[in-house]
Amino acid sequence: MNKTKIIGIAIGILFIIGFLVFYAIPISNGQNLNQNQLYQISQIANYCQSLCYYAEDNLSINNLNNECLISNQSVLSSYWNINGWGCQVSNNYQSLCGYNNYVILDNNCSIVSIYYNNKNLNLT
């Protein structure tokens, strides 16, 4: 198999896992997050990161800086099935997608920050 097919299959599997995890473990609105909730949030962040890699590798979309990857104008919006969460490539810590929960990636698709209820989560 060629590299593009392998990457496509891997990203597809990550999308399915992200979808299943999102609906299997609910997130509460409380300030104290349990291990399951933190795991779910980390899966959402990985899903966002995979979407960024997909945009660069398979769709050849370059210069994603200061972009909401899931906006209605984006071709990637159809791949995002996580309500209430944004996914953006930015050096700005404000939500570009209009959500209180969002993942910020850098230009290399590395996870920079995760915000839950507009508060930065320190998951390290």
- Total of domains in the chain: 1
Can you give the chain as a three-state secondary structure string? Answer: CCHHHHHHHHHHHHHHHHHHHHHHCCCCCCCCCCHHHHHHHHHHHHHHHHHHHHHHHCCCCCCCCCEECCCCCCHHHHHCCCCCEEEEECCCCCCCCCCCEEEEECCCCCEEEEEECCEEECCC
CA distances from 46 to 1, 36, 37 (A): 25, 15, 14
* Phi, psi for residue 119 in degrees, rounded to 5: -120, 135
pLDDT at 28: 45
Residue 68's DSSP bridge partners are 88
Question: What residues of the chain score a pLDDT lower than 70?
Answer: 1, 18-31, 123-124
pTM, entire model:
0.71
Residue numbers of the domain that contains 114: 3-121
Identify the pLDDT of residue 30: 42
